[in-house]
Amino acid sequence: MSTLKDRLTADMRSALKARDELTTSTLRMALAAVGTAEVAGKAKRELTDDEVLAVLTKEAKKRREAATAFADAGRAEQAAKESAEGEVLDRYLPKQLSDAELTELVSGALAAGGFTGKAQMGPAMKAAQAAVAGQAEGGRVAAEVRRQLGL
C-alpha cells in the first residue's frame, strides 16, 4: 500500500474517532476514488503515491468547480461545503506555485526546449508540465504557455 494512501486511511480513522464529520466524509470519498482507480483496467493493482496524488488532485478540482457552480446558482451553503471539502483535500496536495514562480518555471522550460510559435504548443506544454511537476493546475500552465508563446 502506498504511504499516501496509508496516511489518508489513518487520518480518516482519526477523524472518525474525533467525530469530525466533514473530514471523515471527505477522506472516505477520496479513498473511494483511489479504490476505483485501483480496480480500473484489466486487473486490480496498488497505486503509487504519484498516482494517488493525481486522483486527489482530480477530486480537489471537482470540489472547486462544484463550489463555483453552486455559488453561481445561489446555493451558498452547498458551495461552502464543497469549498471545505476542497480545503481538506488540499492538505494532501503539494503547495501550489505562485504566479511569479509559474512564469519563471515555464519560461525556463520554453527556453530550454527552444519552443516558439503556435505549432510547438504540444511539446511546449509537455515540457512545461514536466517542469511544474503537479504544483499548478493544467489550466494555469496552459494559459502561461500560451501567453509566453504569444498565442
Please give the tally of structural domains in the chain. 2
In this prediction, residues 118-125 reach a mean pLDDT of 81
The three three-digit cell numbers of residue 61, written as one number? 478540482
Print burial letters for 45-84: b (CB count within 10 Å at least 16), e (below 16).
Answer: eebeeebbbebbbebbebbbebbeebeeeeeeeebebbbe
pLDDT at residue 4 in the model: 87
pLDDT range class, residue 106, cuts 50, 70, 90: confident
The domain in which residue 133 lies consists of: 97-147
Q: CA-CA distance, 95 to 136, in Å (whole number)?
A: 9
pLDDT, tens digit, 9 for 90 and up, residues 41-83: 888 888 888 888 888 888 988 999 999 999 999 999 999 999 9
The residue among 36, 39, 40, 10 whose CA lies nearest residue 23 is 10
Spatial contact of 20 and 42, defined as CB atoms under 8 Å apart: no
Query: Is the same domain home to 83 and 113?
Result: no
pLDDT, tens digit, 9 for 90 and up, residues 7-33: 999 999 999 999 999 999 999 999 999
Query: Is the same domain home to 50 and 110?
Result: no
pLDDT at residue 2 in the model: 62
Query: Is the same domain home to 10 and 74?
Result: yes
Query: Is the same domain home to 85 and 15?
Result: yes
Q: Average pLDDT of the chain?
A: 87
